[in-house]
Structure 1
Amino acid sequence: MTEAVKVRILDQEYTVACPEDAKNDLLQSADYVDRKMREIRQGGKVVGTDRIAVMAALNIAHELLEAQAENERLADVRQRLARLDARIAASLDDS
């Protein structure tokens, strides 16, 4: 079931439709966006809520892309370790 959830981002209130089981994730996401926007606003180099929002979105997208790249690197390492483990197991079986 969907419910209306109120969130505050940079002193603005927004009502967002959200499945009940995703409410906590939505609140955490809104809090994260709010913190990022406040960091940018406090930096003093970006003026205007719309520009702050765009800069926050770009920063968050950059973080996401970095995390995805790291996840891909870790997946590659896991595959290599699995191959090494299989080779070690095969060598032990041959002994």
Structure 2
Amino acid sequence: MKAHNTVKLTILDRDYNVACPPESEAELKAAALQLHQKMTEIKGSGKVFGVERVAVMAALNLIHELRQKQVANQASNESIARLIGKIDAVLDDTDPV
């Protein structure tokens, strides 16, 4: 069993203690900072009230951004696969020297 560290995170002026493996601590802190920033942005807009609603809106926004990046990444992967196919076809058509 891997050892876990307890990491203190502050999100929207609230402290949370979260257990995570030592090798994941930096990424967890970066994720918490991103969440804090998104929640602060939403709260600052003055359109959403209540921490729970702010959290839900932040989660929806972050997941939407993630899904957009996944779609773009998939399109890039498909484009790269097509280019590799073209390169392979050209290489197959050339005579060995």
TM-score range, shorter chain: over 0.9
Give aligned-pair identity as a percent: 38
* Gapped regions of structure 2 (runs ≥ 5): none
Q: How far apart in 2 are the matches of 1:14 and 1:93?
A: 64
Rounded to whole Å, the distance in 2 between the matches of 1:56 and 1:93 is 57
Runs of 4+ in 1 over 4 A off after TM superposition: none
**2:50 corresponding residue in structure 1:** 48
Partner of 1:80 in structure 2?
A: 82
Give the equivalent residue in structure 1 for 2:24. Answer: 22
Question: Is 2:38 the counterpart of 1:36?
Answer: yes
Flag structure 1 segments of 5+ consecutive residues without an equivalent: none
Bigger helix share:
1
Give 2:4's aligned residue.
2
Report the CA distance between 1:94 and its aligned residue: 7.2
CA deviation map 1:68-92 (0-9, x unaligned) = 1111101100110000101121232
Query: Cα RMSD between the aligned structures?
Result: 1.3
What letter is aligned with 1:73?
Answer: A
